[in-house]
Chain A
Amino acid sequence: MYNQTEIIKDTSELGAEGELVINMGPQHPATHGVLHLVVTLNGETIKKIEPHLGYIHRSIEKMCESLTYRQFIYVTSRMDYLSSHINNLGCALLVEKGMQIEVPDRAKYIRVILSELTRIASHELWLGAMAMDLGAFTPFFYAFREREMITDIMEDTCGARLTMNYIVPGGLMYDIHPDFQKKVKAFITQFKSKVTEYEDLVTNNVIFQSRTKGVGILSAEDAISYGCTGPVARASGVSCDIRKIYPYEVYDKVEFDEVIETAGDSFARYIVRVKEMNQSIRIIEQLIDNIPEGDFVGKTKNVLKLPKGEFYTRVETARGEFGVYVVSEGGTTPHRIKFRSPGFSNLSALNHISVGSKIGDLMASMGTLDLVIPDIDR
């Protein structure tokens, strides 16, 4: 038999007088996955947000310890599934750095073009889903129309639309599709002609502006102390683009601007992502006609063995800095592996930026953080 008074005592500890605790998720359409937020409310004002994780934990880091250096790359597609190609690139860069594998120029160029296409596809999906969270349904279809062209290009060249696994240590799995350049150019023309539609529908829309401007303000100091990276930190005025600070592959050869806004609110985060798409188009335009001839994969040994030691590489995914840390004992599998995922750090700022605002604004600030739950949980 349970003691009734103890249960009453327990519930009284949950919240003070007049406070209401609601569970948002794990099955909530606006959390884009199984994120569980325990929101403490006073009326409509948010007092505290506590994210509960673990609903989609697959222990990817532990799984990778039993896979060889060729095999562990494919698992990282399942983390941040919207920038799976860039995750794979980060892992391949680590193996190449550890073993000093020479990568042919052709592979480097194609890797960068595909990375930027992945970034555009990710931002397109985010734009549609974010507008849908705020109640606008049409932009979702418009954004997916352009995204579909990218997934078609991926399907032609990589063989899959989302979880590509096209990168192997030393280069690429196979050469690009003969139609690749033609299709990418067609996409660029299509994108440039249609990007004004987003501005008419979303950016200049008065309802969208009044729901995002001044909502969820994150200052530059807080962005740094919470470890935010990517568009979230850049909207607060923090320069943190890995492509600029630690250039990998051919990012030091191309011209592009790091998009920085200073307002730090939800609208600034929106603007950063839209402008970033245009910068990605700029990078692709510079590279697409100059893909050098040659091999698409460098010479590697049959069995890859990383020398004893610790290795770390970072890449800029659509959400921020993705880091791979490997401790090697000299064997064919990693001894310990740790992924630094951008989503986890960005989520940690959610409580800070939402306290004091209304529950309707939570949708805007959560949507512009661009959370991908499998990336947070791993």
Chain B
Amino acid sequence: MFLKEYLSDVAKGVSSLLKGMRKTGYYFTHPKEIITEQYPDNRATLLMSERFKGEVVMPHDANNEHACTGCTACELACPNGTIKVVTKFEVSPEGKKKKAIDALVYRLELCTMCNLCIVACPSDAIKMAPNFEHSVFDRTKLTKILNKPGSKIREGIE
């Protein structure tokens, strides 16, 4: 009786193992069904989702103009103090004073990609870019000024 039970246990064990081995053997003989991506080699064809939150950028158009009014809504919305808006006063030819940004300082090393600054921006001046390779050799390179040198605010944005 004991021997019979023991042998049936062995048979059950071997069959359950073989069942599992069949599954792994199937993928061993069907390499086309393997979906592993060879990351550094497939860089050229790698497509990130358009919404992927990689870093904050400020889009500029062909005339080197952006949409940032310097309202500091992003600075207030940021939970970690990642963004610092430095403003200046521009004097127009008519002698009118107008507030504009001098620099929008963005510290990538503090950013958690929570997207709250993008939602807070009333003029859609900043957006998330899908870059994710941020490694640099020098820490200071992570502090970025988002507005390009010599850029201006686009006409018609208040």
Q: Is the CB of B51 within 8 A of A157?
A: yes
Q: In chain A, residues 145-165, which have Cβ atoms closer than 8 Å to a Cβ of chain B?
A: 145, 148, 152, 155-160, 163, 165
Q: Is B49 an interface residue (CB 8 A)?
A: yes
Digit string of A191-228 for contact with B (CB within 8 Å is 1, else 0)? Answer: 00000010011001111000000000000000000000
A75: interface (CB < 8 Å): yes
Query: How far apart are B10's CB and chain A's nearest CB, in angstroms?
Result: 9
Q: Contact at A165–B51, with CB atoms within 8 Å?
A: no
| Main DSSP-derived SS at the A contact region | helix
- Please, which residues of chain A bring their CB within 8 A of the CB of B87? none
Contact A71 B79 (CB under 8 A): yes
B30: min CB distance to chain A, Å: 13
A244 proximal to B (CB < 8 A): no
Decide if B79 touches A159 in the complex (CB within 8 Å).
Answer: no
Whose C-beta in chain B lies nearest to the C-beta of A156?
A: B49
How far, in whole Å, are A227 and B130 apart by their CA atoms in the complex?
Answer: 42
Residue-wise, chain B 115-141 has the 8 Å CB interface mask toward A (1 for contact) of 110010000000010000000000000
A159 near B116 with CB under 8 A, answer: no
Knowing that A71-B79, A71-B116, A160-B52 touch, tell me 19 more A-B residue pairs with CB under 8 angstroms. A70-B77, A70-B116, A72-B79, A74-B112, A74-B114, A138-B20, A155-B49, A159-B49, A159-B52, A159-B115, A159-B128, A160-B53, A160-B113, A163-B113, A165-B115, A165-B116, A200-B23, A204-B16, A205-B17
> A207 to chain B: which residues have CB within 8 Å?
13, 17
Which residues of B in the span 72-86 have a Cβ within 8 Å of any Cβ on A?
Answer: 77, 79
Given A159-B115, A159-B128, check contact A200 B51 (CB 8 Å): no
When the two chains form their complex, are residues B20 and A205 in contact, meaning their CB atoms are under 8 A apart? yes
Beta-carbon nearest neighbor of A148 in chain B: B35
- Beta-carbon contact of B13 and A206 below 8 Å: yes
List, in ascending order, chain A residues with CB within 8 A of B119's CB.
168, 173
Q: Is A28 an interface residue (CB 8 A)?
A: no
Q: Does A177 have its Cβ within 8 Å of any Cβ on chain B? A: yes
A305: shortest Cβ distance to chain B, in Å?
15
- A residues near B13, Cβ cutoff 8 Å: 206-207
B77 touches A201 (CB 8 A): no
B79 touches A201 (CB 8 A): no
**Sample (25) of A-B pairs whose CB atoms are under 8 Å apart:** A70-B77, A70-B116, A71-B79, A71-B116, A74-B79, A74-B112, A75-B79, A145-B35, A148-B35, A152-B49, A156-B49, A158-B51, A159-B53, A159-B128, A160-B52, A163-B112, A165-B114, A165-B115, A168-B119, A174-B51, A177-B49, A200-B20, A200-B23, A204-B16, A207-B13
Q: Within 8 Å of chain A (Cβ to Cβ): is B24?
A: yes
Least distance between B27 CB and chain A CB atoms (Å): 9
Q: Is B12 on the interface with A (CB-CB < 8 A)? A: yes
Residue A56, interface by CB 8 Å: no
Q: Is the CB of A200 within 8 A of B79?
A: no
Nearest neighbor of A67 in chain B, beta-carbon distance:
B79
List chain A residues, Cβ under 8 A from B116.
Answer: 70-71, 74, 165
> Contact string, B28-39, partner A, CB cutoff 8 A, digits 1/0?
000000010000
| Cross-chain contact A177 with B19 (CB below 8 angstroms) | no
What residue of chain B has the Cβ atom nearest to residue A63's Cβ? B79
CA distance A206 to B12 in the complex (A): 8
Tally of A-B Cβ pairs under 8 angstroms:
65
What is the chain B residue whose CB lies nearest that of A154? B49
Task: Give min CB distance, B59 to chain A, whole Å.
Answer: 17
Say yes or no: A205-B16 contact (C-beta < 8 A), given A165-B115, A173-B119.
Answer: yes
Report the Cα distance A336→B47, complex, angstroms.
Answer: 43
User: Is A204 in contact with B79, judged by CB distance below 8 angstroms?
Assistant: no
A165 to B20, CA, bound (A): 39
Contacts of B35 in A (CB 8 A): 145, 148
Known: A145-B35, A160-B52, A206-B12. A173 touches B115 (CB 8 A): yes
B23 touches A201 (CB 8 A): yes
- Identity of the chain B residue whose Cβ is nearest the Cβ of A149 in the assembled complex: B35
- What residues on A are CB-neighbors of B77 within 8 Å? 70-71
Residue of B24, B49, B51, B119 with highest tally of chain A CB at under 10 A:
B49
Q: Which residue of A lies closest to B76 (CB)?
A: A68
Indicate if the CB atoms of A155 and B52 lie closer than 8 Å: yes
- Give the chain B neighbours of A173 by CB distance below 8 A: 115, 119
Neighbouring B residues of A197 by C-beta, 8 Å? 23
Most buried by B among A148, A152, A177, A206: A206
A177 in complex: contacting residue of B12, B51, B115, CB < 8 Å: B51
Q: Which of B20, B48, B52 has the most chain A CB atoms closer than 10 A to its own CB? A: B20
Complex contacts, A158 vs chain B, CB 8 Å? 51
Is there an interface contact between B16 and A206, defined as CB atoms closer than 8 Å?
yes
